[in-house]
Structure formats: structure tokens, C-alpha cells
Amino acid sequence: MLAMNISFDNTENAFAYKTDKELKAAKFLFSTMGYPWFVQLGTRLTPFIMKTGLPVHGIIRKTIFKQFVGGETLEETAFVGEVLGRYGVQVILDYGVEGKEGEDNFDHATEEFIRVINYAATQHNIPFISIKVTGLARFGLLQTLNDAPRLRSGIHDHESEIAEWDRVRERMYAICEIAAEKNIGVLVDAEESWIQDPIDRLTMEMMELFNKEKVVVYNTIQLYRHDRLHFLQMSHQIARQQGFLLGVKLVRGAYMEKERERARINGYASPIQPDKAATDKDYDHAVRYCVEHLDKIGLIIASHNEQSNLLAAELLNQKNISHNHPHIHFSQLYGMSDNITFNLAKEGFGVSKYLPFGPIRDVIPYLMRRAQENSSVSGQTGRELALIRKEIARRRQAK
Ligand SMILES: Cc1cc2nc3c(=O)[nH]c(=O)nc-3n(C[C@H](O)[C@H](O)[C@H](O)COP(=O)(O)OP(=O)(O)OC[C@H]3O[C@@H](n4cnc5c(N)ncnc54)[C@H](O)[C@@H]3O)c2cc1C
């Protein structure tokens, strides 16, 4: 068995990349996010305030943006990537623009993704980029395709919709093709369940084309959905039959409230697991399944859950699989769970920060999700704050 001496409590490793000043700023931010009423108010008001042109850019930039985003431009973000690299931490670059509709915007996003891939190929620690299909396709089109998923050619009312979907496929193909050539992985984010089916099928199509010898394209599986463990197994079966490698990024899922609310309003059964324990059970089951089939599955554990990360690390050790095996990778969002990322890196695991970048107004939806996720005192905020406080105290004592 490989030796492993991992502790997610080691805050010295976790925050070595942060100065005292940065650590204090993080403490202030997480303390503020500990007030759910404040976060609720902020997440409702910020999108409107941004539209009014009030001078809030500066405040956002220095606080929540700095904590969770690499920069407004690729050039700015390069600096953060370089700092992470010094600690053996890799980067998943995410051009974090969301919710921009229109063919011109989709073409522009495609160009931007290609620019990011070309940049990543020049760096030693950026093995992946992430993309959202809603950055390349109209939400309404994805929803139409989702509602009649098995009738691909017959569902369109107009010729124009067929042409529109073909353009989405071309954009996706262009991104994956250059990524394959430059040896950069493409992680396709999972989104709302009512548009996910065409995203899954498009991603599988790309895997079939590009994942022959190595894993270039990865789909995302949200284990907060009760049907996804089965979906993972089906995807694996299809990959085996068609002779390609399956790439998967395992997440719990980011849209739980929205999913439940929509199901309730429209009177259909919620796709979400009955409780957190059920999500955790399926997540860990999926981890075990993928590690069991690591010869044909490229796995990314995308989670802040200490138990799930530890489980994967221990499974690798038990099976004598090397910590930097090309088919296994760990990832946490930039600004969160540094205790997991940096301690895994110390043990030689392939681990990265998911690092978004983009103009402030464009990354607002991402920032609002981070604020909400960090707003419950019992959850992530409590953990982050406790770790930050511990490290501040440790540094004070060490002086
Ligand atoms: C690198 C990276 C990439 C990501 N990419 C995506 C993506 O493409 N798509 C996406 O949707 N999300 C994505 N996420 C976010 C992810 O889905 C989770 O929201 C987030 O990471 C929290 O889950 P966790 O595993 O870290 O930990 P935990 O804190 O253990 O779990 C919290 C999660 O558990 C689930 N949960 C909580 N309460 C309940 C309940 N009552 N019933 C059922 N389930 C419950 C929810 O999913 C919640 O977010 C990504 C996260 C990372 C780190």
C-alpha cells in the first residue's frame, strides 16, 4: 500500500499562499456571509445595482470577486494561476460568462474558449478548461431538445432550429478539436435538469470523437439527482460498447433549490434526492465505481466534502494506484476548501482549483451562487471561518 499522511486540518499548508492581510480579508468576507439575511438581500439587489451603473464595482472587486475569481482578464488571472502553481496546485480555467444569449455572443464565447485553450497549452499547470453549453446555445433551444430528447430530427418546428443546433455542435466540435490537439481537457459543466439531456448527448458525442486514446472531454454528473448513478453506469456501458474512454467530473450539484421549486410549481416529481444522506451515499458510490474502472474512466472528484475526498485518496492507496495517475484528479473551487486542495497537493495528488475569470458584471451569477452556498453558518462558512481563524491564531503564536 502507498504511504499517505494526509490531514485536512493542517492550516499551515492550506493557507501558505495567502499573506496575513489576505487571510484577514477572507475572514471578514466569510464572517459577513455568515448572515443569511445579508446574503439574501445582497443576491437580490446586486444584479439590479449593477444595471443602475452605481459605483459598486470597486467594492465587489476587492471583496467577493477577489476571493472567488481569478481576475477580469486572462492576463490578470495568469498571476493567480502562477501563485497556485508554486504550491503544486493546478488550474481549471473557466471563462465565467453566464446567461448571455444571441448568436454573436455564442460565437464570441467559442473564440474565447479557444483563446483560453491556447493560453493553457503554454502553461505547465493548466491541464483543463471548463465550459457551459449555455454559453454556446440558446437556453430555449436546449429546453426544446430536452423535452423531446429521443426525436432529435423531428422536434423542430422550423428549419432554422435544425441549423441552430448544428451551429452549437460546430462550436463544441471546434473547442474539443483544438483541446485534443493541444492536450487540454474540456470539462462540460452540468446545469439545470430541464436542459441537461441535450448537454449529455452532445458531450457523449464529443467523447466518442475525441476520447479514443486519452480523455479529452469530460461530462459532469450531479449526484444530487436520484437518477445519476444509473446514468453514470449507462454512460460507462455506452463508452465500452463504442470503444471510447469515459471522462466524468463528479459533483453533488449546485441548483437544488431551483430544481425543487420548479418541480413543485409544475407538479412533477423532484429529480433531487430525498435528503443529503442520499446524495452523499450516491456520490461515494460513484467515486467507488469510477476508481474500480479507472482503466476506462477518467475521474475528477469535484467536491469540498472532506469524507468524499478522503475516500477517493484512500481507495487509490488501497489499490496501489499512484497519486498522480492520469485518470484521477481532485478539484475545489478557487476561494474555498484550501485545506483539502493544498493538503492533497502536498501528498502528490493531481489537484486543481476551478478558477473563473471574466468582467465583474458577467460573473455576478457565479458570485451569487458562491455567496448562497457560503451563507449557512452550519455549512461551508462555518468550516471556512474555523480554518481561517485557526491559521490566524497559529501565525500569531509563531511570531
Ligand atoms: C470543481 C468544481 C466544479 C463544479 N462544477 C459543477 C457543475 O458543473 N454543475 C453543478 O451543478 N455544480 C458544480 N459544482 C458545485 C457542486 O455541485 C456543489 O454545489 C458544491 O461543490 C457543494 O457540494 P460538495 O460536494 O462540495 O459538498 P457538501 O458540502 O458535502 O454538499 C453540499 C451539496 O449537497 C447537496 N445537498 C445539500 N442538502 C441536500 C438535501 N437536503 N438533499 C439532497 N442533496 C442535498 C447539494 O448538492 C449541496 O450543494 C462544482 C464544484 C466544484 C468543486
Residue 152 has pLDDT above 70, yes or no: no
Report pLDDT digits (tens) over 359-398.
888 888 888 888 887 776 456 668 899 999 999 999 999 9
CB 312: neighbour CB atoms within 10 A?
24
- Indicate the pLDDT class of residue 204, thresholds 50, 70 and 90: very high
Cα of 319 to ligand 1 centre, how many Å? 27
Is 204 part of any domain?
yes
Ligand 1 pocket mutation pick from 193, 251, 308 by most atoms within 8 angstroms of CB: 251
The verdict on residue 140 lying in a domain is yes
pTM: 0.94
Highest mean pLDDT among 32-46, 58-72, 227-241: 227-241
Residue 222 CA to ligand 1 center (angstroms) comes to: 8
DSSP 241-272: HHT--EEEEEE--S-HHHHHHHHHHHT---SB
| CA 254 – ligand 1 centroid, Å | 5
**What's the pLDDT band for 158 if we cut at 50, 70, 90?**
low
pLDDT classification of 14: cutoffs 50, 70, 90 = very high
Residue 253 falls within a domain, yes or no?
A: yes
H-type alpha helices, the chain: 11-14, 20-33, 36-52, 57-60, 66-68, 74-86, 103-120, 139-147, 159-182, 193-210, 228-242, 256-266, 276-292, 306-318, 338-346, 360-373, 380-398
Split into its structural domains, the chain has a count of 1
| Residue with CA closest to ligand 1 atom 29 | 305
Residues spanned by the domain of 181: 100-123+131-302
What pLDDT is recorded for position 377? 47
| 319 within some domain | no
pLDDT value at 153 more than 70:
no
Residue type, 370: R
Ligand 1 atom, smallest distance to 332 CA: 53
Mean pLDDT, residues 86-102 taken together: 90
When pLDDT is averaged across residues 90-99 and rounded to a whole number, the result is 88
**Would you say residue 87 lies in a domain?**
no
> Rounded distance, CA 81 to CA 331, Å?
14
- Atom index in ligand 1 nearest the CA of residue 307 equals 30
What pLDDT was estimated at residue 147? 84
User: What is the reported pLDDT for 285?
Assistant: 98
- The CATH number of residue 270's host domain is 3.20.20.220
pLDDT tens figures, 207-250: 999 999 999 999 999 999 999 999 999 999 999 999 999 999 99
The atom of ligand 1 lying closest to the CA of 380 is: 29
Q: Which atom of ligand 1 is nearest to the CA of 255?
A: 11
What's the mean pLDDT in 177-183?
Answer: 98
Is 397 a member of any domain?
Answer: no
Domain assignment of residue 209, yes or no:
yes
Do the domain assignments include residue 218? yes
Residues 6+ apart with CB under 8 A from 362: 96, 97, 98, 100
Judged against a pLDDT cut of 90, whether residue 39 lies above it is answered with no
Q: Is residue 78 scored above 50 in pLDDT?
A: yes
φ, ψ at 333 (rounded to 5°): -70, 145
- Residue 167 pLDDT greater than 90, yes or no: yes
- For the chain, the average pLDDT equals 91
Q: What pLDDT was estimated at residue 36?
A: 75
CA distance 230 to 296: 17
